[in-house]
Amino acid sequence: METAENGSDFLLDSEDSAPQGIELRHLRYFVAVAEAGTFTHAAERMYVGQPTLSQQIRRLEEFVGTPLLQRRREGVRLTEAGIVLLEESRAVLSLVDHGVSRTRRAAGLGRSRLRFIVQPHLPSTLAAEAVSRLRSAAADVDVTWLETALDAEFSSILDRRADAALCWMSPADRTLPDPLDVMEIGVFEPEVWVPEQHPAAAHGGIGLDDLARMDIIHGPRRLDPGTYDAWRTVLRTGNPRFDFTDPPFRQSLPMTLAFAATGSRPSAVLTGPCHRVGSEARPATDAACHQMVPVRVERSRLSATAGLVWSADLPREVQQMLFDTAENIAV
């Protein structure tokens, strides 16, 4: 019998055995802190108070017998022991979740489930194709559809509040942390509307430098910070003081076009990513469009990559279904 410093007892069967006091909740809390980087963010993700979370992590370190985290002003950093335990904790939690799922299916208590996020403001054609293909492939899976925003860290999936998502990807997302997998499904570009008297309207295209000298209505940033910031950076290469103007009527393109057409300076309206790169643009649905016409950005670096992200902790058959869906959309 060995005794912890705080007086609580726990048994060690051998030098390599885990202390009996460790519970799955300790491992889940530890993984949450390691992935979130701070106790504050981890507590929010796990829906527990920060004092409770800190207490449970201290208990885990007492059980293991060594510090797992270095607490710093800017956040936490894993010790060498913490790095090992993080990898093992993820493996244990994945096995437990998979085992519970198999046990329930064997008992006839339910089928595999999938909580799937469709990020708002994706091209309607892309979202519709993904939902249609996934629904057809998910005959033996209970799918819950979630239309919600997804942060850059994919915390909804990491915290197991969702299982997969259709979303925009940043270049850094191509190497995601465990246990996330990703498959790119297409590169999309925006549509730009300019006044019909603008020289670009005559030949259907405008250069980035010319575009950066106009007032451009686009956004607002909170709807898709990654794409918004990337495009602003591109346009600032031609105009260092460039910034977007938030749309006053973000739910209505016709109203935004009318707003742009009455500006005192030449104004353009930049949509979100809507066409696959290389595809033909759709014709304008309204011939007038308030004297605004759609054009393409010549030699554009304004694009966004759509992808399917999912947790590698999902049952293999569900992961295969997601992979097949992404592969079919990408063709």
The CATH code of the domain that includes 207 is: 3.40.190
Report the domain count for the chain. 3
pTM over 0.75: no
pLDDT tens for 208-264 read 999 999 999 998 888 788 889 999 999 999 899 999 998 887 678 888 888 888 877
pLDDT at 245: 92
- CATH number for the domain that contains residue 29: 1.10.10.10
- Return d(Cα 27, Cα 37) in angstroms, integer: 15
Same domain for 216 and 290: yes
Mutual angle of helices 124-137 and 316-330, in 10-degree steps: 140
Same domain for 315 and 244: no
Same domain for 285 and 216: yes
Return the sign of the alpha-carbon dihedral for residues 144, 149, 152, 156.
negative
Same domain for 89 and 14: yes
Same domain for 229 and 80: no
Same domain for 278 and 139: no
Same domain for 211 and 274: yes
Domain end position, chosen among 71, 104, 137? 104
pLDDT at 172: 59
Q: Which of 122, 43, 36 is nearest to 78 (CA)?
A: 36
- Return d(Cα 92, Cα 150) in angstroms, integer: 26
Same domain for 280 and 227: yes
pLDDT at 109: 64
pLDDT at 175: 66
- CATH number for the domain that contains residue 160: 3.40.190.10
- Return d(Cα 318, Cα 323) in angstroms, integer: 9
Domain end position, chosen among 76, 104, 132? 104
Same domain for 157 and 24: no
Same domain for 313 and 182: yes
Same domain for 316 and 176: yes
pLDDT at 45: 78
* Structural domain span for residue 220: 191-302
Same domain for 231 and 160: no
Low-confidence residues in the chain, pLDDT < 50: 1-14, 283-288
Mutual angle of helices 24-36 and 50-64, in 10-degree steps: 110
Domain end position, chosen among 104, 139, 162? 104
